[in-house]
Amino acid sequence: MREIVDRIYRDDSRRVLATLIRLFGDFDIAEEALHDAFVAALERWPVEGIPANPRTWLVSAGRFKAIDQLRRRAAFDDRRPEIERQLTELAEQEPVIADSGDITDDRLRLVFTCCHPALSADAQVALTLHTIGGLTTEEIAHAFLVGAPTLAQRIVRAKSKIRDAKIPYEIPAAADLPERLDAVLATLYLIFNEGYSATFGATITRADLCGEAIRLGRLLVELLPEPEAIGLLAMMLLHDSRRAARTNEHGELIVLDAQDRSRWNREQIREGQQLTERALQSRRVGPYAIQAAIAAVHSEANSAADTDWAQIVVLYDLLLNMNPSPVVELNRAAAVAMKDGAAYGLDLINGLLARGELANYHLAHSARADLLRRLNRTEESLAAYAMALELTTQEPERRFIERRMASLKH
Amino acid sequence: MKYLCLIYDEESKWDKMTQDEAGKMMAEYGAFTGDIQKSGHLVGANRLQPSSTATTVRSRAGKVSTTDGPYAETKEQLAGYYLIEAKDLNDAVQVAARIPSAKLGAIEVRPVHAM
């Protein structure tokens, strides 16, 4: 019985929570009600048997427990008559908890509330992982390398703002959807990146953030199959497919060109490619879908030399058109170097650096160093690597640059 | 639910406006205020005198002290407010975004504590 309840908790607790939040309009009351509902299940199911629809059972159990709890609290409150009236109303109205679209809607409401732009990015991430992902505050704190009390406070503050400023629990209207969806996608991408950029040499928990972001991405695509949601999921899968090949046994970073592509996760690649296709066919192509397409082109090639660099350059052009950014220009320059030759890429990077925006960006200097190395301009390459080294704070990156410099000095 | 929309503007920007430009802004304010009155959002609104007229008051141990100037010296100054009645924060943000000064400075939206 314990196992069955545990399984139902894993599979359904977030949905039950989403519905309880809608019914009570308060995260804390809903979380307590969820807890009480599962306690009740553990007591009663062994005697009465498992209900036909456990989720509906849990929602009504949670609802009764919460109304009870609120009644008891109201006894000490001088606004008692008003609260009593509201509670009676709440108890009488039959909540929509059947297996209908409403449950799906509740989860989508929860996604949009947790990723509301009136909350700080940090708070969005923490609340999303906690409420929708079901992670504990300790788990999230550990993954983001902050103290548990700090993280817990971030969540408390976000919940209070939702309640006190009355951030609505609703799916945005069509007119606001693109902007609000952007905020949701940005939150998922932030979670993914936090795991991805720290994967090398770091703890397993951090890599789990990638898995968690992908799981949330799947949920979003299931609830709201917008092209950009599909594009983001595709991009995350295609990047994550390289995870095993990105580091060696010492936790050292391996760049794309040098990765053993037989270690790429074929299943993730297949799914990522299909999703990319789906996002591109929508005719409403956005930046995430383009980035997924770039990753998909890489995933099709057996080696760096074998890669369709011309297509990648075209895709970067499209991306720049939508989202002008010097970092994207830098990536484009690296692709041009592969397509037309290192000298062409170098010209572009020199121009970019001259503009100043990327002057302190270590990847710009290491990309420049790499092209100089390929052009056999060893002295200049070493100087550029030294510059990159000075600007890098990440340990695996530093070791990578130092290895490159050592091999140049031979 | 009530929200207070605090209008923060750079006073120097208003000072630099030509009479035409300032007149146009005021006309926009007039139209906006009329709109939110019709939609039932408006509870109250006022434009404030410049921050150079402000006095900051403190009372400590029964002793009152006053200082010249606003509570905080910032690049943008509190220039006025709208008190509105809105369904929720989304509704309030939509109203605030239409305040003409949202284009010039910034609007701080604060929910009013229910008494």
Q: Which amino acid is at A199?
A: T
CB atoms within 10 A of CB B96: 22
Which chain A residue's Cα is nearest to B112?
A165
pLDDT tier for residue A400 given thresholds of 50, 70 and 90 = confident
- Min CA distance, B75 vs chain A (Å)? 23
Identify whether the C-beta of residue A254 lies closer than 8 Å to the C-beta of residue A273. Answer: no
How far is the C-alpha of A44 from the C-alpha of A51, rounded, in Å? Answer: 10
Chosen from A164, A176, A177, A179 to mutate, greatest number of chain B CBs within 10 A? A164
The string of pLDDT tens digits covering residues A182-236 is: 999 999 998 998 888 764 444 445 668 899 899 999 999 998 999 999 999 999 9
Is residue A21 within 8 A of residue A110, CB to CB? The reply is yes
Alpha-carbon span A260 to A253, nearest angstrom: 12
Say whether residue B21 is in contact with chain A using an 8 A CB cutoff. Answer: no
User: Pick from B90, B109, B111: which is nearest to A164 by CB?
Assistant: B111
How many whole angstroms separate alpha carbon B52 and alpha carbon B79? 11
Answer whether residue B50 shows pLDDT above 50.
yes
Q: What is the C-alpha separation between A81 and A94, in angstroms, rounded?
A: 22
Measured distance CA(A84)–CA(A102) in Å, rounded: 27
- What pTM value is reported for the model? 0.83
Sheet with B106-111, edge to edge strand ranges: B42-47, B77-85, B2-9, B106-111
Look at residue A100 and tell me whether its pLDDT is greater than 70: no
Is the CB of residue B89 less than 8 Å away from at least one CB of chain A?
yes
The answer to whether B46 contacts chain A (CB < 8 Å) is no
pLDDT in tens, A133-154: 888 898 888 878 788 999 999 9
pLDDT mean across residues, chain A: 89
User: How long, in residues, is chain B?
Assistant: 115
* pLDDT on residue A201: 46
Residue numbers in A near B87 (CB within 8 A): 168
B93–chain A Cβ distance below 8 A for any pair? yes
Contacts of B111 in chain A (CB under 8 A): 164-166
For the stretch A16-28, pLDDT in tens is 999 999 998 889 9
Q: What does the pLDDT average to over A67-84?
A: 79
| B87 close contact with A: CB closer than 8 A | yes
Is B90 in contact with A165 (Cβ distance < 8 A)?
no
Asked if residues B3 and B109 have their Cβ atoms less than 8 Å apart, the reply is yes
Mean pLDDT over A83-94 rounds to 72
Give me chain B's average pLDDT, please. 94
Beta bridge partners of A158: none
- Cβ–Cβ pairs < 8 A, chains A and B: 21
Among A6-15, A112-121, B95-104, the least confident range:
A6-15
Question: B90: distance to nearest CA of chain A, Å?
Answer: 7
What is the structure's pLDDT at A103? Answer: 56
Q: Rounded mean pLDDT of A62-84?
A: 82
Which pLDDT band, with edges at 50, 70 and 90, does A248 fall under?
Answer: confident
* Contact at CB, B1 and A166, closer than 8 angstroms: yes
The closest CB to that of B89, out of A118, A172, A176, belongs to A118
Q: CA-to-CA distance for A385 and A176, rounded, in angstroms?
A: 46
Q: What pLDDT sits at residue A225?
A: 93
Given a cut of 80, whether residue A256 has pLDDT beyond it is yes
The pLDDT of A346-353, averaged and rounded, is 96
At B105 the pLDDT is 94
**Residue contact B89–A166, C-beta within 8 A:** yes
Q: Is B108 on the interface with A (CB under 8 A)?
A: no
Using CB atoms, pick whichever of A167, A172, A176 lies closest to residue B89: A167
What pLDDT score was predicted for residue A204?
46
Which A residues in the span 66-125 are in contact with B, Cβ-Cβ below 8 Å?
A: 116, 118
Asked if the model's pLDDT at residue B15 lies above 70, the reply is yes
Shortest alpha-carbon distance between residue B19 and chain A (Å): 36
Cβ–Cβ below 8 Å for B93 and A166: no
The CA dihedral of A337, A340, A342, A345, to the nearest 10 degrees, is: -50
Residue from A112, A161, A166, A179 to probe the interface with B (highest B Cβ count within 10 Å)? A166
Specify the range with the lowest mean pLDDT, choosing from A86-100, A373-387, B25-39. A86-100
3-state secondary structure of B46: strand
What's the gap in Å between the CA of A176 and the closest CA on chain B?
10
Contacts of residue A147, Cβ cutoff 8 Å, sequence gap at least 6: A141
Looking at beta carbons, which residues of chain B come within 8 Å of A116? 89
| The pLDDT of residue B36 is above 80 | yes
Cα–Cα dist A11/A7, whole Å: 6
Q: Check residue A94 and give its pLDDT.
A: 61
CA nearest A172 in B: which residue?
B90
Share of chain A above pLDDT 90, in %: 64
B1 contact residues in A (CB cutoff 8 A): 166
List pLDDT tens digits, range A280-289.
999 889 999 9
